[in-house]
Structure 1
Amino acid sequence: MISKRYFAGVAIAAAVAVSLTACAGSNSGTAGSTSSVNAKTAKTATSAKDVGGMDALVKAANAEGQLNVITLPPSWANYGKIIAGFEKKYPKITINSANPDGSSADEVAAAKAQKGQTTAPDVFDIGTAVLQQNLDLVAPYKVANWADIPTDFKDADGKWYYDYTGLMSVGYDSSVIKTAPKKIDDLLGSAYKGKVSIKGDPTQANEAASAVYMAALQSGGSAEDIQQGIDFFGKLKGAGNFQAVTPTQATVASGETPVVIQWSYNNLAWGKAGGASGNANFTTVVFPGTALGSYYNQAINVDAPHPAAARLWEEWIYSPEVQNLYLASGAYPATLTAMQDNKKVDTKVLESVGAAPKDFAQLTADQATKAATLLTSKWAAAIG
């Protein structure tokens, strides 16, 4: 169980191959108008109690009839099933899923550009560095299961709360790469010519930035100074091994991007667990030594066009049902310890996935902000 928020420079054993459930698709559509039913109350509610309790919150959300989510691919941390489950439980609410392959920066850009419009995102699933730079965009709200979220996994006022983490990993097509990589420098070898990709621009996307952070830790750098990670990707580009293609489940399945550095739950979901959409040869490795994790954050848009539905979504996210769905994807949920203590965890899933690592490195908010600044100034030159 993860007992602390930050673990900089901590070694753990290498990793895992686990079975995952395949993800269902998500619905999308055009946002409707915000209902006036309890709209003002819902917009400022810091708990369900403020709108009269859960039944009243559901009623207000049903009246709104819409929920706008953003950057939630169906294969990412079981979001396909999570979205489908919400719509099944609350059939009067349609989820509009925008820009599923976007970044944390895209979430912020959409919130700012669409402020006051019915299409603006209601909720965020966002990386720490981007969140900390945009705290004015989020509204405080404490879910019913607030006590199940560890104190250092949440803002004291309820502006944000951790939802899940994985470990930064390498996914590779074993039909192309015949020998499993055992350390980060293996990716510099000739077998990886034009084959290694990351999830977008690390100056914009938390997952891509985390690939650089992991490279720094594996190369003798630290969470305090990620320059060695930038240097590593410069070497990768110089060797001709870095591929400037943003990978997707489809590009992995087709063989276009045979080596991907990304979160373990995404690499796993793109392999056998992806069924017909996956690549049966895609294998996940977490290198020995210092492993990198990073919790993503849930938060509500302060200008959410559907404020009641936004708050109901957060109640759904922190229910044991959804926390177990995160777990089934290989993403360790924020309330795992409480669910184990309360005997609400799916023990078969936990046995299949394996216990959460006791220790791993995670950048603090200050370290992430410092790293993001360094990436902004050095990244383009390194891989240009």
Structure 2
Amino acid sequence: MRGGGLGLCGHGLPGRRKRERSAIKNTVPFDCPRADSNIECPGRSIQVPAPVRSLIACLAALLAPVVFAQAPARNDDVLRYRGADRDARLVERARQEGTVVLYTSLAPTESKPLAEAFEKKYGVKVELWRALSDKVVQRVITEARANRHAVDVVETNGPEMEALAQERLLAEVHSPYLADLPADGIPPHRLWYPDRLNFFVVGYNTEKVQRSELPATYEGFLDPRWKGRIAIEATDSEWMAAVVKRWGEAKGMDFFRKLAAMKPDVRKGHVLLAQLVATGEVQVGLTMYNANIESLKKKGAPIDFVPVQPVIARPQGIGVAKEAPHPAAALLFVDFVLSPEGQRLYESMGRVPASTKVKSELNNFPFVMTDPNTILKESQKWEALWNELFLAK
């Protein structure tokens, strides 16, 4: 994702951004599509990078007067219905609507099979628009400001979902599958719901590093023998914040200052970092997404991961747009994604399902769930610390 246009809110000072760019090795293939393309490309991450959260906050501030003036959602009778005939009524009305419009940052290799499975089961067409998560947020906000209600369902990163919820662009729904989700993953306002998890794990090249060599905690990577062998992703201030909160300020910041002194390789994009570990150019990645590793591993690449403690999990979310033009189809799609069937489909594609009803080998260890609301509130603090430690020359 890109942070263009940040001058609107006074963020992204040119001098600092120049220093940050000089610290990052951003090897991107020459045929990589534009930043606004719907095609996922190596070197691009769907996580909100450092400046983008500021852009989200800025856009939200501009939108606030418009949103607050809106009338209550017209779709509550559909979205919150709890009668015994709920499922039958929902399917019937969804088929009458005929279409559900989905905005998502889920990779095309996963969003397309998900849409096709839903269409096959219910005969309701999915109009899929896929982009990086900041583009998803921008489009939803822009359309709302223009009083153009096109989207039915939004599926993207937790912090972005929280930003949309705080601007009252999402609707509370009732689904029988909400009870299957981890209680600490559902925000109090219940305007969006976790549908999958991203784990920050340690990935390694199995031809360069033996599993037995890897330490059980991140502190073990401060050993001088790891210098020149480890890498981090350039935008992972969220991971640092979660680790510090878990360990406490004194212990946590002491660790990150020592890690910075190790001068880890810094790469832009979780997909790129996974590919570099798979090729052996990078031996160990400290802040990798489990799904990227699993995808390459299934293709035979010499890559694996270990759940080094503390394992940080970030919820990815799904929600129904407050002014969804196809409310029944929207809720039916959310039902499908959160159902065991939809969650097993996620698991088959290497994603970690959020449902407690679907077991995955990837969630058989303790982990700490991040709070998207806290991430939004404290983002500038942690981004500044991260940039100072790892990106500034």
Shorter-chain TM-score above 0.5: yes
Contact 2:150-2:324 at 8 Å conserved across structures: no
Displacement of 1:98 after TM fit?
1.0
Displacement of 1:281 after TM fit?
0.4
CA distance in structure 2 between the aligned counterparts of 1:235 and 1:117, rounded to whole angstroms: 50
Deviations 1:321-346 (A, max 9, x none): 1223344456554431xx3xxxxx5x
Q: Residues 163 and 68 (structure 1 numbering): CA distance in 2 closer, same or farther, change over 3 Å?
A: closer
Displacement of 1:170 after TM fit?
1.4
5+ residue gaps, structure 1: 1-27, 30-39, 202-207, 340-344
Q: What is residue 361 of structure 1 aligned with on the other side?
A: 368
Q: Residues 90 and 368 (structure 1 numbering): CA distance in 2 closer, same or farther, change over 3 Å?
A: same
Displacement of 1:269 after TM fit?
1.9
Structural mapping, 1:293-372, within 5 Å? 293-328=313-348, 332-336=352-356, 339=357, 345=358, 350=359, 353=361, 356-357=364-365, 359-364=366-371, 367-372=374-379
Q: Which moved more, 1:314-323 or 1:152-161?
A: 152-161
Aligned residues: 312
Structure with greater helix share of residues: 2
Contact 2:102-2:152 at 8 Å conserved across structures: yes
Displacement of 1:216 after TM fit?
3.6
Q: Which moved more, 1:111-120 or 1:226-235?
A: 226-235
Q: What is residue 19 of structure 1 aligned with on the other side?
A: none
Matching of residue 70 in structure 1 with residue 78 in structure 2: no
Contact 2:320-2:331 at 8 Å conserved across structures: yes
Of 128, 132, 138, the match for 1:109: 138
Displacement of 1:267 after TM fit?
4.0
What letter corresponds to residue 145 of structure 1 in structure 2? Y
Structural mapping, 1:150-299, within 5 Å? 151-155=183-187, 158-177=190-209, 180-182=213-215, 183-184=217-218, 193=228, 196-198=231-233, 201=235, 208-213=236-241, 216=244, 220-221=247-248, 227=253, 231=257, 234-235=260-261, 239=263, 241-248=265-272, 259-262=284-287, 265-273=290-298, 275=299, 280-287=301-308, 289-299=309-319
Deviations 1:107-135 (A, max 9, x none): 32221123344664722333258616742
CA distance in structure 1 between the aligned counterparts of 2:112 and 2:259, rounded to whole angstroms: 32
Q: State the TM-score, normalized to the length of structure 1.
A: 0.64
CA distance in structure 1 between the aligned counterparts of 2:113 and 2:227, rounded to whole angstroms: 34
Q: What is residue 33 of structure 1 aligned with on the other side?
A: none
Contact 1:328-1:353 at 8 Å conserved across structures: no
Of 104, 114, 117, the match for 1:85: 117
Q: Alignment partner of 1:125: what SS?
A: strand
Identity over aligned residues, as a percent?
A: 19
Q: State the TM-score, normalized to the length of structure 2.
A: 0.63
Q: Residues 225 and 325 (structure 1 numbering): CA distance in 2 closer, same or farther, change over 3 Å?
A: farther
Q: What is residue 180 of structure 2 aligned with on the other side?
A: 148
What letter corresponds to residue 196 of structure 1 in structure 2? A
Displacement of 1:139 after TM fit?
0.9
CA RMSD of the aligned region, Å? 4.1
Matching of residue 57 in structure 1 with residue 90 in structure 2: yes
